[in-house]
Chains A and B, each alone.
Chain A
Amino acid sequence: MLLYLSKRLLLMVPLLLGITLISFVVIHLAPGEPTDMQTQLNPEVGVELQQRLRAQYDLDQPLMVQYGKWLGRLVRFDFGDSFSQDRRPVTAKIAERLPITILINVLSIGLILLVAVPIGIVSAVRRNSHFDRLTTIFVFIGFATPSFWLALLLMDFLGVRYGLFPIVGLKSLGYDYLSWSGQILDVLHHLVLPVFVSAFGGLAGFSRYMRANMLEVIRQDYILTARAKGLTEKAVIWKHALRNALLPVITILGLSVPGLIGGSVIFETIFAIPGMGKLFYDGVMMRDYPLIMGILVIGAVLTLVGNLLADLGYALADPRIRHS
C-alpha cells in the first residue's frame, strides 16, 4: 500500500508540470493581454505607453522565457503578483477568497449527502412507490431549475417580500457590533439561501445516482443469498448493499474536491459572495495570467489529490482492491 502511494505521488510531479505548461500556453493563446484593460480605447494612452506597460509585466518576452520565470518562482512556492492594477500577491488574493468558497461547498456537499443518499436508498428499495414517484418529480424540477432563477425567486420571495433571509453577502452591516454567538448566527442566517441554491441541483443528481447504484446492487446474487440466509431486510440493505452502492459515490466525491475551490461563478455573483469562482472569472476576463495560473495549479493539485483520495477510499471500502 505504501509503495502504491509513493508511486502515485511521484507520478504526480511530471503530470503537474505538463498541466502547468499546457495551461500556460493555452491562456496565452487567448487574444488580449492584461495591460489592454488599462490602455485599450483609452484616449489618454499612446502606443509608446502601451509598450512600456507591456515591458513592465515581461509581456514583451518570448512565451517560454515567461514560463521559465513563472516556474522558477513556483519552485519557491511563489505564485507571483497579480497583473491587475493592485499588484497584490496571488497567494494573498486566493487566501482571502478560499475559506468562504470551501465553507459553502462543504456545507452544500454535506447537505446533498445528508439528504440525497437516504432519498436514493429509499426510492431504490421502494421502487415505484409514491415516495419514489414524488422524488422523481423533485429530481425533474431540480434538474430543470436554473440556479440563478431559483436564487432570484427565493431572494425576492423570502428576502424582499417576507424578510426572512438576508439577500446578499455573508454578514449584516452591524456584524462588527454583534457578540461572537450573534456573529455566528448572522453568518449562518446569510448562508441559508446560498447553500440551499448551490445544493439544490446537486441534490437531484446525487439522489438519482444513489438510486441507480442501489438498484444495481440489490439485484446482485449475493443480496439474494443474504436474503435467502434469513437476514433481516434492514441488515441486507444497510449492511451489505449500501456499502457496495456507495463505491461509485466515493469516486464522485473525490472528483468534486477541485470543485470545492472552483466554486460557482453564478451563485457567487448573484449572492454577492466574494469567493473563488468570481475571482477566477474576473481573472480570466482581465487576462490576469499569474492569478489564473495560481488557481489552475491549486485546482490541478486538488484534482490529483482528489483522485488519489478516491482510489484510497475505494481500497478501504472494497477489500478486493486492497488485496490486489
Chain B
Amino acid sequence: MTFISDRFGLVWIFLGLCCLYLICGCDRMDENLAGQAEAGPPAAGDTLIIGSGADAVTLLPVLASDGTSSDINGLVYNGLVRYDKDLNIEADLAERWEISPDNLTITFHLRQGVRWHDGAPFTAEDVLYTYQLLIDPKTPTAYAERYRQVASAQVLDAHTFRVRYHKPLATALISWAFSVHPRHLLEGTEITKSPLASHPVGTGPYRFVAWKRGEKIVLEANPDYYEGPPYIHRVLYRVIPDASTMFLEMQSGGLDYMGLTPLQYAMQTDTPAFRRRFRKYRYPAFAYTYLGYNLRRPIFQDKRTRQALSFAIDKQEIIDGVLLGLGQVASGPYKPGSWVHNPEVAPYRYDPNRARTLLAEAGWQDSDGDGVLDRNGQSLSFTIVTNQGNDQRVKAGEIIQRRLSEVGVKVKLQVVEWAAFLKEFINPGNFDATILGWSGGIDPDVYNVWHSSKTGPGELNFIAFKNAEVDHLLEAGRRTYDQDERKLVYDRFQEILAEEQPYTFLYVPESLPVVAARFRGIEPAPAGIMHNFIQWYVPAEEHKYSR
C-alpha cells in the first residue's frame, strides 16, 4: 500500500536529516574567533559565569552542607585559617597563631581593619559567637562534632581569640577554617529564620548581590577586601541541572566555567574550535571509589580471600572503561601525591593467577564442578550493592562482576535508590559488598571510617573493620600536630590496609574543569584551580561583559 510506503518514506527522510545534521554540522562556534593575544596586563572588570548543576540551599555556612552553597560561601566568607595552593595551612582572618607546647591551647591573633560587607568591624567576638553557634543544640548543623571537643573559648581582646582543648586534636587548627559569622547580625535571632540565609554578609572577596532561586546567584567584587579587591568584577552562578544542557550552553557562550564529565572531556571537547575558546584542566579529585567487603560475612573473613579479589580485579580496565582513562588507580585512602600518601604501598596489580593461588590457599575450590568455587559446602558467591544515580559505580560493578567470574567467584549486582540503600543495606550492615566512594577530607584523620568503635548502626565503619594496631594508630594520629610524626603513623596505617584489604581500592577520579580562554592568571596546583581566584583576570581588550 502506498500509505505504508509513504509513511516510512517520510520517517526515513526525517531520520536521514537528523543523521546528516549530526555528522556534518557546520561549526558556528568557529566564527568570531580572533587570535588570542597572549596575556595582556591584569585589568579589573568582566564577569565569570559558572554553571552549577544544583541551586544553593542556604547561604548561611553553619546550616549549609551542599556543594553549591559551600562554593558560594567560600567566596563570601572567610575562616581564621585556610589551605594554601599546596594544601598547607595558612593565615586568613587570623594573622598568626600560637600553639601551646602541650598542644592544648591555640591563640589566634586576628587581622585588624577587616570589615564585614555592611561596614561593621570584624572582631574576636564574631569568632566566639560562631563557635557558640556551632555548639548550640538548637542549631541544626552537621559541623558541631569537632567544636564539641573544645574545653573553653575566650576573647582576650578585640583581636585575640583563644581556644583550649581537653585533649590534643590534630584537626583543631584547620577546624578554624570554618566561615566566621557576623555576630552583630545574628545574635538573638532564630538562626533557621535568619535573613542572612538568603542574603549573606561576610568578610570575603565577594559580596552578595542577588539570588533568584533555581536560576542564578550574583556576587560582586568587594572593593574593601583585606587582600585587595579581586580583578573579576562579578561572579554569576547559573543553575542548569542537566549536564548536556550545561555543555551546550557553554558552547553557545552562556557559561565561562563548568566541570566536564569524562565523556565530554575525552570525546566532545577535542576540537580546534573548542581548544581556542576554552582551557581544560585535569587533576586528581579528593575522592576515591572502592569495593568494600562486609567483614561480618564468613566468606570475607580470611584476608587471603580479600587479597585474591583485589588481584582478580583489573582497576586500570575500570578506569579506561568507566572514566575514559581520566583517573588513576587508588592504592589506599589518600590521594596520590599528597604528603600523607605512602608511595611504598603498591596497588594490587591485575594478576588472576595470583588470585587463583590465594583462593586455593584459603581453601576455595570448585568441588562440584559448577564453575563457582566453594568451601565446606558454601559457594564463593556474593552480591555487590551500590546506589542508583551513579553510573560510574554501576559500570565498575559490571566490570568487576565479569573479572571475578573468571576466577570462579559469582557476583550479583544490585542497584538501589540512595535513601533506601543507606537505610536497608549500609546502616544495618545488611550487605555482602558495596561499591561506594569517600570524598572531601584533606586532613588524613579517618578515625570515624576505620576505628573499631565506629561499627555501630549508622556509623561509618559499616564494613566492621577491626584491627587493634589501626585503632592505636588512628588515636595517635589525631593527637599530634607534628606532620612528620603523623606521616609515620599514617604510613603504617596504609601498610596495614594494603595487607588486610578490607576494601579493594579502585580509583581516584579526576576533576575536569573547563574555563573560557579569556581568563588569565589561573594556576593549577594540588588545591585545584580556584585557590587564587581573586588573582584571575581578563585583559581589558578581551572583556566580554561591561556591567
Is A228 part of the binding interface, using a Cβ–Cβ cutoff of 8 Å?
no
Q: Which of A123-161 contact B (CB under 8 A)?
A: 133-134, 136-137, 140-141, 152-153, 155-157, 159-161
**Which listed segment binds A: B138-146, B307-315, B534-542?**
B138-146
Q: Are B28 and A31 in contact (CB under 8 A)?
A: no
Q: A160-B28, A162-B28 are in contact. Are A39 and B11 (CB under 8 A)?
A: no
Q: A155-B245, A270-B242 are in contact. Are A137 and B6 (CB under 8 A)?
A: yes
Q: Are A173 and B236 in contact (CB under 8 A)?
A: yes
Q: Are A160 and B29 in contact (CB under 8 A)?
A: yes
Is A167 part of the binding interface, using a Cβ–Cβ cutoff of 8 Å?
yes
Is B58 part of the binding interface, using a Cβ–Cβ cutoff of 8 Å?
yes
Q: Are B422 and A40 in contact (CB under 8 A)?
A: yes
Residues of B within 8 A of A167 (CB): 245, 248-249, 252, 254
**Which listed segment binds B: A13-21, A82-90, A253-261, A316-324?**
A82-90
Is A71 part of the binding interface, using a Cβ–Cβ cutoff of 8 Å?
no
**Which listed segment binds B: A41-49, A60-68, A239-247?**
A41-49
> B459 is contacted by which of A47, A81, A157 (Cβ under 8 Å)?
A47
Q: Looking at A41, A43, A85, which has the most chain B CB atoms within 10 Å of its CB?
A: A85
Q: Please, what's the 1-or-0 string for B238-265, where 1 marks a CB less than 8 Å from any CB in chain A?
A: 1111101100110110100000000000
Is A53 part of the binding interface, using a Cβ–Cβ cutoff of 8 Å?
yes
Q: Are A159 and B424 in contact (CB under 8 A)?
A: no
CB distance from B441 to the nearest CB of A (A): 7
B: number of interface residues (CB 8 Å)? 72
Q: How far is the CA of A39 from the CA of B423 in the complex (A)?
A: 13
CB distance from B219 to the nearest CB of A (A): 14
Is A233 part of the binding interface, using a Cβ–Cβ cutoff of 8 Å?
no
Q: How far is the CA of A39 from the CA of B215 in the complex (A)?
A: 27
> B214 is contacted by which of A41, A97, A160 (Cβ under 8 Å)?
A97
Q: Are A152 and B248 in contact (CB under 8 A)?
A: yes
Residues of B within 8 A of A36 (CB): 419, 422-423
Is B57 part of the binding interface, using a Cβ–Cβ cutoff of 8 Å?
yes
Q: Are A32 and B423 in contact (CB under 8 A)?
A: yes
Q: Are B420 and A31 in contact (CB under 8 A)?
A: yes
Is B184 part of the binding interface, using a Cβ–Cβ cutoff of 8 Å?
no
Is A272 part of the binding interface, using a Cβ–Cβ cutoff of 8 Å?
yes
Q: Are A44 and B142 in contact (CB under 8 A)?
A: yes
Residues of B within 8 A of A53 (CB): 140
**Chain A: which residue is nearest B29 at the CB level?**
A160
Q: Are B460 and A43 in contact (CB under 8 A)?
A: yes
Is B456 part of the binding interface, using a Cβ–Cβ cutoff of 8 Å?
yes
Residues of A within 8 A of B238 (CB): 168-169, 272
Q: Are A156 and B236 in contact (CB under 8 A)?
A: no
> B58 is contacted by which of A56, A86, A156 (Cβ under 8 Å)?
A86
Q: Are B145 and A46 in contact (CB under 8 A)?
A: yes
Residues of A within 8 A of B241 (CB): 269, 272, 278
Q: How far is the CA of A39 from the CA of B460 in the complex (A)?
A: 11
Q: How far is the CA of A133 from the CA of B426 in the complex (A)?
A: 56
Q: Are A133 and B6 in contact (CB under 8 A)?
A: yes
Q: A84-B57, A167-B249 are in contact. Are A43 and B441 (CB under 8 A)?
A: yes
Q: How far is the CA of A160 from the CA of B288 in the complex (A)?
A: 35
Is B362 part of the binding interface, using a Cβ–Cβ cutoff of 8 Å?
no
Residues of A within 8 A of B99 (CB): none
Residues of A within 8 A of B460 (CB): 41, 43
**Which listed segment binds A: B18-26, B151-159, B341-349, B363-371?**
B18-26
Q: Are A43 and B448 in contact (CB under 8 A)?
A: yes
**Chain A: which residue is nearest B14 at the CB level?**
A141
Q: Looking at B49, B197, B214, B418, which has the most chain A CB atoms within 10 Å of its CB?
A: B214
Residues of B within 8 A of A33 (CB): 419
CB distance from A117 to the nearest CB of B (A): 23
Is A313 part of the binding interface, using a Cβ–Cβ cutoff of 8 Å?
no
> B65 is contacted by which of A49, A85, A141 (Cβ under 8 Å)?
A85
Q: A152-B248, A159-B252 are in contact. Are A47 and B456 (CB under 8 A)?
A: yes
Q: Are A56 and B249 in contact (CB under 8 A)?
A: no
Residues of B within 8 A of A137 (CB): 6-7, 10-11
Q: How far is the CA of A36 from the CA of B427 in the complex (A)?
A: 11
Q: Please, what's the 1-or-0 string for A154-191, where 1 marks a CB less than 8 Å from any CB in chain B?
A: 01110111110011111101000100000000000000
Is B360 part of the binding interface, using a Cβ–Cβ cutoff of 8 Å?
no
**Chain B: which residue is nearest A149 at the CB level?**
B18
Q: Looking at B18, B146, B241, B448, which has the most chain A CB atoms within 10 Å of its CB?
A: B241
Residues of A within 8 A of B106 (CB): none
Is B383 part of the binding interface, using a Cβ–Cβ cutoff of 8 Å?
no
Q: Are B242 and A272 in contact (CB under 8 A)?
A: yes
CB distance from A33 to the nearest CB of B (A): 8
Q: Are B26 and A161 in contact (CB under 8 A)?
A: yes
Residues of B within 8 A of A171 (CB): 215
CB distance from B143 to the nearest CB of A (A): 6
CB distance from A68 to the nearest CB of B (A): 23
Q: Which of B435-466 contact A (CB under 8 A)?
A: 436, 438, 440-441, 446, 448-449, 456, 458-460
CB distance from A12 to the nearest CB of B (A): 32
B: which residues have CB within 8 A of A? 3, 6-7, 10-11, 14, 18, 21, 25-29, 49, 55, 57-58, 63-66, 69, 137-138, 140, 142-146, 192-193, 197-198, 213-216, 236, 238-242, 244-245, 248-249, 251-252, 254, 418-420, 422-424, 426-427, 436, 438, 440-441, 446, 448-449, 456, 458-460, 545, 547
Give 24 pairs: A residue, B residue, CB < 8 Å, sorted on A.
A32-B418, A33-B419, A40-B458, A43-B446, A44-B143, A44-B145, A46-B145, A46-B448, A49-B145, A86-B57, A87-B197, A88-B198, A133-B3, A152-B244, A157-B21, A160-B252, A161-B25, A166-B254, A167-B249, A168-B238, A169-B216, A170-B215, A173-B254, A272-B241
A: which residues have CB within 8 A of B? 30-33, 36-47, 49-50, 52-53, 56, 81, 84-88, 96-97, 133-134, 136-137, 140-141, 152-153, 155-157, 159-163, 166-171, 173, 177, 269-272, 274, 278-279, 285, 287
